[in-house]
Amino acid sequence: MEFTIQNEWNGAPIAHEPVTICLKPAPGGLQMDVSAPFFNDPPAPSGPVGEPFQALWDYEGLHGHHLVLLLSQRRNIWKECLPLFFQASISQGTWKGRALIPWEYFPPSVDQFNAYAIHGSGLKRTYEALYPIPEKEVQEGQQPDL
């Protein structure tokens, strides 16, 4: 299955090439391949590549770090910093990543998901969503709540 992130969290269209996400079953889990523009803003986190990195959402998150959280209800972290096979490469303004998400990380009977792309710093911080809030439902002054 292939998906593209074409909107910001509030439904506004993005002004760059979209993020593409491909999902397919693989031995031991779900393979996720991502291709996205490389903004290099903010710069890479300082943690070791290939390891979980707390607060990865503060970064562009494509330098080989990962963060897997298992939640029990909204924002209630049940397990964090779980291991994950993840590779990333950057070339000619594009980054590509591949993750193998173990089947046991998924809740029973999961049938929906969302995906986000976050980049930029300060006032240029941009939050994009595969399934954004419909523009008509966004309240004045509302901020992203991912």
**Span 29-53, pLDDT tens digits:** 999 999 999 998 888 888 888 888 8
Q: In Å, how far from its chain's centre is CA 103?
A: 18
Give which of 133, 84, 87 is closest to 106, Cα–Cα: 84
Sequence-separated (6 or more) residues with CB below 8 Å from residue 6: 13, 14, 18
Please, which pLDDT band fits residue 55 given cuts at 50, 70 and 90? Answer: confident
Instruction: For residue 34, count other CB atoms closer than 10 A to its CB.
Output: 19
Please, which pLDDT band fits residue 59 given cuts at 50, 70 and 90? Answer: confident
- The pLDDT score that the predictor gives to residue 43 is 81
Q: Provide mean pLDDT across the span 56-60.
A: 82
